[in-house]
A = this chain, B = another copy of it.
Amino acid sequence: MAAPTQVRLRRTVSTNRVVHELEVERREKSSHADKPCHQQTDSLFSSTSGFSNYRGLVNLCIVLLALSNGRVALENIIKYGLLVNPMYWVRLVVFQGPSDWPCAVLLAAVNIFLVFALFIEKLLAKKSISETAGRYIQTINLFLVLCLPAALVLYIHPNPMFSSSTLAVYTIVFLKLISYVTVNKWCREYSQSKKYKRERQKSMSSLTGRENGSMDSENKYVQYPDNLNLKDLYYFAFAPTLCYELNFPRSARIRKRFLIKRLVEMVILSQVLLGLVQQWMFPTINNSMKPFHNSNYPFMLERLLKLAIPNHILWLIFFYWFFHSCLNVVAELLRFGDREFYKDWWNAESINAFWNTWNIPVHRWARRHLYSPMMKSGYGKMASSVIVFIVSAFFHEYLVSVPLRMFRVWAFMGMLGQVPFAILTSRFLNGHFSNMALWLSLIIGQPLATLMYVHDYYVLNHLHADVMPPTA
């Protein structure tokens, strides 16, 4: 790209010099009595002008965006009045029916699985049970973490919103426990390896020539199996990471101003999110049901686009709220040092780059416990990536289909559909255009999948309700 631009610029410059010389000649030879004010010049939009500063148009885009969404918001208020009602959510949580209690019970039960995993690890460290037996027991424990709540949710069918968050907690615990078990196994393997024994000998011999203070600072770092205790386990359970290690980086102190700022963001943004959902999402989704049910395609597309923009703005606010405000509050309280919860995914120029940067805890877990082990076992890059995508798609489906009790594959397809999209965009687009394609897929993909589920849920439950005789 750089070379032709330079050539063109050089040509423009040399053309400009010729033009300038002609101009000087013209000015010199004609009299100045008419005070001439014209010069041989190209228009800025002509490619020959070499001009390329359109920075102001970015500001235009921002202003237009603010205005057009301001207008839509105003239209919404005129049409529906103020729908924001924080009490709605309070009522939803406090006055939940008895069918929602299972979620609270399930959330408390998660501790059993955690403590059980620690218990087995302790037995393994003391060599009270064999490695094989330990592996079987831990696998069964992990299996139960994933399946028991799903079975309960499917059987009792509580409010989808609560059961979805309960399942999310269980998924996080599942991923954390896999990491916990794996890292402890690595530590046992290491302590049995020859290298470890050699190092231990060396450190023993060097200790004779050292002072006690140095000895202390070395002991500051936890060694296996001293990490196998409740305090360490619960620190990891609450820490904003899915990857276990024995010595997490710790920040020096809790920065009070930072903590307060993040807490304020957490409270305000959560209210903004709930308000926008009530005012903007609910009416739009409700209005979408009819055209979707009648398969009125232009109207469906209009509804999809109308939903896409609030949905995307909600997603952006949610991203900031969860990955910056919430995780930083937790990390600050726990003095957890590693705050890299996200990278600059907004500049990503490929689907791959996006998935590698937007959710760093999950990305790190997938690389450490799925991708790298697969690569070491001899699978290719492509196969390992696809497996990571499939596992990720499975969990997206798990968190949506189970609470809604609908086994559509919209979320699964949405995740897997990214693979051909990634290949297409990387082949035909680059730079800013592939970044735009990425944004487009984010803006359109999510609400499309959402509408699909909402539509199916509506058809399943509300059409059914219409057939039923009124109960009042």
Contacts and interface: CB of A to CB of B under 8 A. Distances in A.
A245 B40 contact: no
Contact of A302 (B31, B61, B71, B344): B71
A205 interface: no
A38 B337 contact: yes
A289 B440 CA distance: 37
Interface stretch (A62-70, A267-275, A407-415): A62-70
B33 A299 contact: no
Interface in A217-260: 217-218, 220-224, 241, 243-249, 251, 258
Contacts of A342: 43-44
Contacts of A340: 39, 41, 43
A171 B193 CA distance: 94
Given A44-B343, A221-B26, A33 B186 contact: yes
Contacts of A69: 68
A461 to B, nearest CB: 28
B29 A221 contact: yes
B302 A56 contact: no
B223 A31 contact: yes
A345 to B, nearest CB: 8
B339 A41 contact: yes
Given A29-B218, A60-B439, A320 B45 contact: yes
Contact of A68 (B29, B35, B68): B68
Nearest to A64: B65
A29 to B, nearest CB: 5
A405 to B, nearest CB: 33
Interface in A32-76: 32-46, 51, 53-65, 67-72, 74-75
A196 interface: yes
A11 B392 CA distance: 39
Contacts of A42: 339
A443 interface: yes
